[in-house]
Amino acid sequence: MKVILLEDEIPAFNKLSKYLLDHNSEVKILGWFRSLENAFEEKELFAQCDLILSDIKLLDGSSFELFHQLEVNCPIIFCTAYNKYMEDAFETNGIAYLVKPYSQESFNKAMYKYDQLFKKSNLTQLNMDAFGMIEQMLHKSIKNYKQRFSIKKENGIIVKPVADIIFFKALGDFCSLVDIHKEKHNISYKISNLEQLLDPQHFFRINRSEIVNIAFIKKVEPYFKNKMQIILSDKTVLTTSGSRTPEFRLWLDGK
């Protein structure tokens, strides 16, 4: 399988190429382009590739400009930090839309979709009817992330907007949250469930027991053993786990 990568950031390219080769060690990367200018210089390669893995914002413009000017007949998997371009993505040859930071598992699912649709049947042209169905399914599956929590108290129910929550902390089978008023409340959610309910653009699980809101990160400092120390706006200090630190760095950069 011949693949082209469109990605302007070197760390994101390293991650993407690793995920790709881990999924299929026989992949041949025809080209890696960080800018539209570089891609247009090698435009003949796009007629040879079987799949394109593409960020949306490159060094000198949007990858959509490239797809609108070139006749691209292969499927595209978008890997981007922006979730607002999904409709535009599926007006091109998009078959999957991964929002950074994405996992190896999410990437493998997108590649499995490619394998099922194209590889086994050796398709060289897009089946636009199939893409229409995929687009409809993906639009239906766009996730609506949690916007607020209703918390039962002795004298009634209080509502806490997600945007006002500084961080969450696991406490066994439930979690506590701390908000901008420095109030602490317990909620009946496991940390693993919260991780799925919260928008990954704004919230990140830094270790086994804590999730932070990027809006309230005041400072990040190096710590020992590949960890990072996070100082929050309420002066709370949290620490990433060593295994989560690389993903945390990418998340901070919007990757």
- What is the SS3 string spanning 191-213? HHHHHHHCCCCCEEECCCCEEEE
Each residue's pLDDT tens digit, 218-229: 999 999 888 999
Domain's final residue, options 140, 167, 197 = 140
Write the CB contacts of 143 (distance below 8 Å, at least 6 apart in sequence). none
**Could you tell me the pLDDT band of residue 138, with boundaries at 50, 70 and 90?**
low
Half-sphere exposure of 112 (CA within 13 A, CB side): 6
What's the rounded mean pLDDT across residues 75-98? 85
**Residue 189: pLDDT above 80?**
yes
Is residue 60 domain-shared with residue 183, that is, in the same domain? no
Centroid of chain to Cα 158 = 32
Is residue 134 domain-shared with residue 11, that is, in the same domain? yes
Is residue 209 domain-shared with residue 112, that is, in the same domain? no
At CA 150, angle to CA 148 and CA 153, rounded to 5? Answer: 150
State the DSSP H helix or E strand holding residue 168, giving kind and residue range, or none if neither.
strand 165-171
Centroid of chain to Cα 187 = 26
Residue 233 DSSP code: T
Each residue's pLDDT tens digit, 58-71: 998 889 888 888 87
Is residue 189 domain-shared with residue 217, that is, in the same domain? yes
Is residue 184 domain-shared with residue 130, that is, in the same domain? no
**Residue 134: pLDDT above 60?**
no
CATH number at residue 185: 2.40.50.40
Residue 218's domain comprises 148-252
Decide: 101 and 251 in contact? Cβ < 8 Å.
Answer: yes
**Confidence at residue 83, expressed as pLDDT on a 0 to 100 scale:** 78
Is residue 124 domain-shared with residue 18, that is, in the same domain? yes
Domain's final residue, options 94, 121, 140 = 140
Is residue 9 domain-shared with residue 27, that is, in the same domain? yes
Is residue 65 domain-shared with residue 186, that is, in the same domain? no
**What does pTM read for this prediction?**
0.49
**Confidence at residue 91, expressed as pLDDT on a 0 to 100 scale:** 77
CATH number at residue 60: 3.40.50.2300
Tokens (6 digits) for 149: 């929590």
Query: How long a stretch of residues is the chain?
Result: 255
Phi first, then psi: what are they for 152, rounded to 5°?
-75, 130
Bridge-based pairing of strands 76-80 and 148-153 is: unpaired
Counted domains in the chain: 2
Is residue 135 domain-shared with residue 44, that is, in the same domain? yes
Is residue 216 domain-shared with residue 194, that is, in the same domain? yes
Write the CB contacts of 171 (distance below 8 Å, at least 6 apart in sequence). 186
Is residue 58 domain-shared with residue 28, that is, in the same domain? yes
Is residue 131 domain-shared with residue 28, that is, in the same domain? yes
Domain's final residue, options 123, 140, 157 = 140
Bridge-based pairing of strands 210-213 and 203-205 is: antiparallel
